[in-house]
Structure 1
Amino acid sequence: MSDLGAGAVETTDAGGGTEMPDWEKRFRAPRVSLPDWAEDAPDRSLFVSNATGTYELYAWDRATGEQRQVTDRPNGTTDGLLSPDGEWIWWFNDTDGDEFGVWMRQPFAGGGSDEPAVAGLEASYPSGLALARDGRMAVVGRSTDDEGSTIHVVRSPGAGPVEIYRHRESAGVGDLSHDGSLIAVEHTEHGDAMHSTLRVVRPDGSTVAELDDTKGGTVELGLEVLGFAPVDGDTRLLVGHQRRGRWEPMVWDVASGEETDLALDLPGDVSAEWYPDGSALLIEHSFEARSELFRYGFASGDLVRVDTPAGSVSGATARPDGSVEYLWSSAAEPPVVRSTTGGVVLDPPGMKAPASVPVEDVWVEGPGGRVHALVQKPADASGPLPTIFEIHGGPTWHDSDAFAAGPAAWVDHGYAVVRVNYRGSTGYGREWTDALKHRVGLIELEDIAAVREWAVTSGLADPDRIVLAGGSWGGYLTLLGVGTQPDAWAVGLAAVPVADYVTAYHDEMEALKAMDRTLLGGTPEEVPERFEASSPLTYVDAVKAPVYISAGVNDPRCPIRQVDNYVDRLKARDAVHEVYRYDAGHGSLVVDERIKQVRLELDFAERHLR
């Protein structure tokens, strides 16, 4: 059986061998993240790349052009931070993707071995990290099942950690002020893990100020830390808020209590970060699956657009010279790090990713309002086509007009690809994001079903060849969908899914338990009927479609035991299914492994849609 489905194209080289297909090139082509730079040494940068076939951290000295691989681990590394003085690189060392570990550090220039960054601090899940400008003081957020959330201050290298915060509910480090005198903490002590409140403390843990938009939990408005002003003695903190039903920034002076509402006249969600001199903000505006940049000057109050191509900006930073660097892509064009000074900032050598096809916007009337979907199909193709609904994770996330190798692979194989920003997705207002509560999973599937109906009646999709697929929360919705909508889907492809909600709750990391309690209104013991209604395991005996499941054996988010429980039930009724378990966590950072998983999914769909 070929690994290539209908519509796929491969060519032969001059020697008669098979050339790598475009879909595989998109995964293998070297790519880079937006480089982070040291605040007081802006020529020193840190970025992530898959250049070796595994996503790892790289140091880049812009003055000399030298690039150096920082980490080298079998399952990859992406969590790292450059100290403001540019002397040290901190990176998180877990075990095979289980997200449980310790912070390590090494000199930016190399030449030294990695060492534990904080002596005496036991392994945990990371919950924020902030480093002082001189590289000495560090603020480390941690989370464990036994301790809940804790924050420690390490006053100098080699010194023992001092605990300054502890609570059973989720909390983390937001930022450290420019002079190191203030620490911003995001916490959910009120018990709503979807909506954080803020506390600013001194390094000894004493409280300076608090900002709480939950009003005792009766009004569900969230806050997030966007960063302290980058100026010594400046007590302004940039904060994201939802007071007008969407994310937007304001400035909170934690010393005086003054709040400056920017009231930017932009639809959709708005985020921001400081320009390096503190005189302006770099605004990132996200609306209807696209994003753009603006500069907001405090003195003039003017909002000036930063010129970027149509598509999605997945990260941006203002440099000391006033230029802006940003990571841009569209569904058709691969990602690239650009600068407003012109040209490409960081262009990895080697093979370039082939382009794909653009997305088309579709709006469908759903039971909770208009649902936005993004559609791709092979060039010049006419329906009805085999169609895959690729469902995003999160759920607090959204699909956008950005480059994605996975959907592009299905297009290459002759499929239409539909991605749905269901209720629960970000970017469409707070009410849309918060609509999931209590009927978790079922709400999202109502929106997906409405878009499926459009796909069939419009002539896009062949109703007998529609695949439901997704990873993480998308994998959860896939298994829930093939059980609650058994006649709608011909095949189900679930990656790292929630399959048995009750067992998943008991086995997952504490931060996700808190999120589940918020979404469902309690624990499985307190609201068993809600967990039962939202669990794929409840409906497993109704599944008709062949089901393919892939899962990481070290996954702390969707643990393997609850996947095995679901698979055992499929086996007990001789349901058509295949399971692929791999040695990693919640997904893989190894390119070969990602390609293998896509190839297995393509093959499974080809065999069962034939």
Structure 2
Amino acid sequence: MSEEKSAVPAWEQRFRAARVSLPDWAEDAPDRALYVSNSSGTYEVYAWDRATDTHRRATDRPNGTTDAELSPDGEWIWWFDDSDGDEYGVWRRQPFAGRPEGTAGPDEEAVPGLAPSYDAGLALGRDGTVVVGRSTDEDGTTLHLRRPGAAETVEIYRHAEYGGVGDLSHDGTLLAIDHTEHGDAMHGAIRVVRLSGDEAAAPGAAAVPGDAAAVPTVAELDEVTGHEHPRGVACLGFAPVDGDTRLLVAHQRTGRWEPMIWDVATGKETALALRDEQGRELPGDLSAQWRPGARALLIEHEYEARSELFSYSLDDGVLTRLDTPRGTVGGATPRPDGTVEFLWSSAADPSAVRSTAGTVVLRAPGTVPPGSVPVEDVWVDGPGGRVHALVQRPAGAGEGPFPTVFEIHGGPTHHDSDSFAAGPAAWLDHGFAVVRVNYRGSTGYGQAWTDALRERVGLIELEDIAAVRGWAVESGLADPDRLVLSGGSWGGYLTLLGLGVQPELWSLGVAAVPVADYLTAYDDEMEALKAIDRTLFGGTPEEVPERWTASSPLTYIDRVAVPVYISAGVNDPRCPIKQIDNYVEGLERLGKPHEVYRYDAGHGSLVVDERIKQLRLEIDFVRRHLGGPPVGENRADSEK
């Protein structure tokens, strides 16, 4: 057994090692929790009875499951059932303890009568009230209410623009709706409506927003409509106390994300004075969630690719730092006993669920995966301001220059952080340096940085990436003749666009689930992404065709001068396969060297073996073109 283990390279061990997400516990049954793990070889939902420390796999599907919620009483597990990763499906449910012995069959449909759709949120009330959010190309966003004991749902909201379920108040009388009815999908608004209990008396009456006969509006927070400089707001949750009408809200009024408390009944807004031990304002973005009892908040602070936790007392306004190691908190939850549990990792250290009590709360079964190399912070002057990049050098390989992979993150409203990632670690194991760029459009550096990529979509990000590339070559880190531009999703899009717009800068391109032909992608993608694209470009392809054309990789395909590797999921609703096929056909027509791998899943895969196969193909492609032996089968594979 030990001999077989040693035959598995470290990069593959990192993928095969079991990992767990942060457990989500039932509000009124805190010993009942759900988490996601890949311990079976596929990412699935697990039920954890903390009182007895028993774990049960709740879902088992060929392409995996990750979206699930517990009812507040802990009796029911709700999970979203799509088809082969296409994200289009229905909610199902099962008892927390599983089916009674001797029974079989599929989990029941949780809300009968609702056709499949894309998920737009779910709220489960403590009295049995259910609100389901749906998104379809035909109807836009619709919200459906089912009262306890009712056989049917009532549609209480409909709008062509994207939105979704925010939160139900603790007593189930108020519903917060996140929406973008104003047409700016990057900056949301909030509407709070009252669920009176007699919605079914006027079926269909609430098919348009604001219909007072069915769901009267209690409050509205919109800082986009009529504002010269739009600011987004987002629901963070109602206070967990019956009759409490305070809603925790994230806002961008100061040019970054930070929390405030909004009493939706009185309209009173309470700003939070969040300052460190020296009285200094915390830089970066801030988020929050209620602690049990609603007398304190858990504050999550994110700054320059790292994060930390604080507790904030609403009684005296004292902010207390919680003990978390330097790195990234990938989620946190306050427990009724006063502790906080959080998922933590760094680029060098694998993740684990830890507690502020100083313990590891939940670690995946099996061996801990090998660690990796710490990141270095680099700041580079770019055309839009200083660009932050995270750099890793292969261990024990000298000073360089190294063959270098620019691993570009997706989103675009996302960012790379000092957290554990098996993909970059694999490139390091193979002797490559890895550079990750938090280009304009990334989160965590203020609203102006995130909003900067409008209209010149893709081209702005490439300017920042090129600036960091210049630094990497001039500093001696990167070999200019062995530079790989790589990424997935939006990172895959920037890879294909970069190969055409900046052909002289890159030696190879590796793009996973990319946007390749933007106009065709818009026609086929899910409605929520169409709304974001209209916001980014300032209109539809018919309204501003020149912007869409200028930002589409297909426009520059004749300028691609290096080999390209593309992988794609055939069921992907975000970067659909047809537009990728159009790009591949263009490469074939022009005689451009390329390789393509299509797999049966959606926007990426939840199957461990499939992820390993994809990365092995990418590494082999790069090594064949840049030198070095191909990545062969290891003994553990051949013995299966």
Q: TM-score range by the shorter chain?
A: over 0.9
1:69-128, Cα deviation, whole Å (9 max, x unpaired) = 000000000000001110101000000000000000001011155100001000000001
SS, match of residue 123 in structure 2: strand
| Candidates 237, 258, 261, aligned match of 2:271 | 261
Shift of residue 14, structure 1, vs aligned partner: 5.0
SS, match of residue 372 in structure 1: strand
Whole-angstrom distance in 2 between the partners of 1:278 and 1:386: 52
Q: Which residue of 1 aligns with 2:241?
A: 231
Whole-angstrom distance in 2 between the partners of 1:599 and 1:14: 22
CA 1:18–1:230: 2 relative to 1, 3 Å? closer
Alignment TM-score, normalising by the size of structure 2:
0.92
1:539-568, Cα deviation, whole Å (9 max, x unpaired) = 001001100000000000000000000000
| Candidates 180, 189, 196, aligned match of 1:197 | 189
Q: Are 2:143 and 2:164, in contact at CA under 8 Å, matched by a contact in 1? A: yes
Q: How many residues align?
A: 597
Q: Which residue of 2 aligns with 1:516?
A: 533
Q: Which residue of 1 aligns with 2:567?
A: 550
Q: Are 1:99 and 1:125, in contact at CA under 8 Å, matched by a contact in 2? A: yes
Q: Percent identity?
A: 72
Q: Are 2:404 and 2:482, in contact at CA under 8 Å, matched by a contact in 1? A: yes
CA 1:90–1:47: 2 relative to 1, 3 Å? same
1:288-319, Cα deviation, whole Å (9 max, x unpaired) = 00000000000110000010000000100100
Q: Which residue of 2 aligns with 1:472?
A: 489
Q: Which residue of 2 aligns with 1:270?
A: 286
Whether 1:298 and 2:319 are equivalent positions in the alignment is no
| Candidates 230, 249, 262, aligned match of 1:220 | 230
Shift of residue 573, structure 1, vs aligned partner: 1.0
Q: Which residue of 1 aligns with 2:110?
A: 117
Whole-angstrom distance in 2 between the partners of 1:260 and 1:79: 33
Q: Which residue of 1 aligns with 2:459?
A: 442
Q: Which residue of 2 aligns with 1:8?
A: none
Q: Which residue of 1 aligns with 2:57?
A: 69
Q: Are 1:470 and 1:478, in contact at CA under 8 Å, matched by a contact in 2? A: yes
Shift of residue 219, structure 1, vs aligned partner: 2.2
Whole-angstrom distance in 2 between the partners of 1:250 and 1:432: 22
Whole-angstrom distance in 1 between the partners of 2:559 and 2:179: 41
| Candidates 295, 300, 309, aligned match of 1:284 | 300
Whether 1:106 and 2:94 are equivalent positions in the alignment is yes
Q: Which residue of 1 aligns with 2:550?
A: 533
Whole-angstrom distance in 1 between the partners of 2:239 and 2:360: 28
- For 1:116, the aligned partner's letter is E
| Candidates 390, 400, 418, aligned match of 1:401 | 418
1:241-292, Cα deviation, whole Å (9 max, x unpaired) = 0000000000000000000011322100000000011000000000000000
Whether 1:348 and 2:341 are equivalent positions in the alignment is no
Q: Are 1:325 and 1:345, in contact at CA under 8 Å, matched by a contact in 2? A: yes
Identify which range, 567-576 or 212-221, moves more after superposition.
212-221
Whole-angstrom distance in 2 between the partners of 1:401 and 1:322: 27
Q: Which residue of 1 aligns with 2:520?
A: 503
| Candidates 322, 327, 343, aligned match of 1:327 | 343
Shift of residue 157, structure 1, vs aligned partner: 5.4
- For 2:417, the aligned partner's letter is S
Shift of residue 216, structure 1, vs aligned partner: 2.1
SS, match of residue 383 in structure 1: coil
| Candidates 337, 342, 352, aligned match of 1:336 | 352
Q: Are 2:299 and 2:312, in contact at CA under 8 Å, matched by a contact in 1? A: yes
Whether 1:85 and 2:73 are equivalent positions in the alignment is yes
SS, match of residue 171 in structure 2: coil
Shift of residue 18, structure 1, vs aligned partner: 6.3
CA 1:465–1:346: 2 relative to 1, 3 Å? same
Q: Which residue of 1 aligns with 2:373?
A: 357
SS, match of residue 309 in structure 2: strand
Q: Which residue of 2 aligns with 1:9?
A: none
- For 1:464, the aligned partner's letter is D
Shift of residue 351, structure 1, vs aligned partner: 2.2
Q: Which residue of 2 aligns with 1:6?
A: none
SS, match of residue 260 in structure 1: strand
Whole-angstrom distance in 1 between the partners of 2:117 and 2:580: 24
SS, match of residue 244 in structure 2: coil
Whole-angstrom distance in 2 between the partners of 1:133 and 1:443: 47
Whole-angstrom distance in 2 between the partners of 1:158 and 1:489: 60
Whole-angstrom distance in 2 between the partners of 1:420 and 1:437: 18
| Candidates 152, 171, 174, aligned match of 2:166 | 174
Shift of residue 217, structure 1, vs aligned partner: 5.0
Whole-angstrom distance in 2 between the partners of 1:249 and 1:234: 18
SS, match of residue 394 in structure 1: coil
Q: Are 1:194 and 1:518, in contact at CA under 8 Å, matched by a contact in 2? A: yes
Whether 1:127 and 2:120 are equivalent positions in the alignment is yes
SS, match of residue 436 in structure 1: coil
Whole-angstrom distance in 2 between the partners of 1:157 and 1:527: 50
| Candidates 27, 31, 41, aligned match of 1:43 | 31
CA 1:567–1:258: 2 relative to 1, 3 Å? same
Whether 1:242 and 2:242 are equivalent positions in the alignment is no
Shift of residue 138, structure 1, vs aligned partner: 0.5
- Within 5 Å, give how 1:21-60 maps onto structure 2: 21-60=9-48
Shift of residue 173, structure 1, vs aligned partner: 0.3
Q: Are 2:273 and 2:317, in contact at CA under 8 Å, matched by a contact in 1? A: no
Whole-angstrom distance in 2 between the partners of 1:14 and 1:489: 40
List alignment gaps of at least 5 residues for structure 2. Answer: 101-105, 200-214, 275-280, 628-640
1:410-461, Cα deviation, whole Å (9 max, x unpaired) = 0000000000000000000000000010000000000000000000000000
Whole-angstrom distance in 2 between the partners of 1:76 and 1:300: 46
SS, match of residue 492 in structure 2: helix
- For 1:200, the aligned partner's letter is V
RMSD across aligned positions (CA):
1.1
Q: Which residue of 2 aligns with 1:140?
A: 132
1:22-43, Cα deviation, whole Å (9 max, x unpaired) = 0001011010000000000000
Identify which range, 499-508 or 212-221, moves more after superposition.
212-221
Shift of residue 220, structure 1, vs aligned partner: 1.4
Identify which range, 287-296 or 380-389, moves more after superposition.
380-389
Whole-angstrom distance in 2 between the partners of 1:391 and 1:587: 16
- Within 5 Å, give how 1:455-470 maps onto structure 2: 455-470=472-487
Q: Are 1:554 and 1:583, in contact at CA under 8 Å, matched by a contact in 2? A: yes
- For 2:379, the aligned partner's letter is W
List alignment gaps of at least 5 residues for structure 1. Answer: 1-11
Whole-angstrom distance in 2 between the partners of 1:345 and 1:37: 13
Q: Which residue of 2 aligns with 1:600?
A: 617
Q: Are 1:118 and 1:157, in contact at CA under 8 Å, matched by a contact in 2? A: no
Whole-angstrom distance in 1 between the partners of 2:442 and 2:174: 33
Q: Are 1:190 and 1:217, in contact at CA under 8 Å, matched by a contact in 2? A: no
Q: Are 1:137 and 1:157, in contact at CA under 8 Å, matched by a contact in 2? A: no
- For 1:147, the aligned partner's letter is D
- For 1:229, the aligned partner's letter is A
Shift of residue 380, structure 1, vs aligned partner: 3.2
Whether 1:590 and 2:578 are equivalent positions in the alignment is no
Shift of residue 580, structure 1, vs aligned partner: 0.3
Q: Are 1:190 and 1:216, in contact at CA under 8 Å, matched by a contact in 2? A: no
Q: Are 1:423 and 1:444, in contact at CA under 8 Å, matched by a contact in 2? A: yes
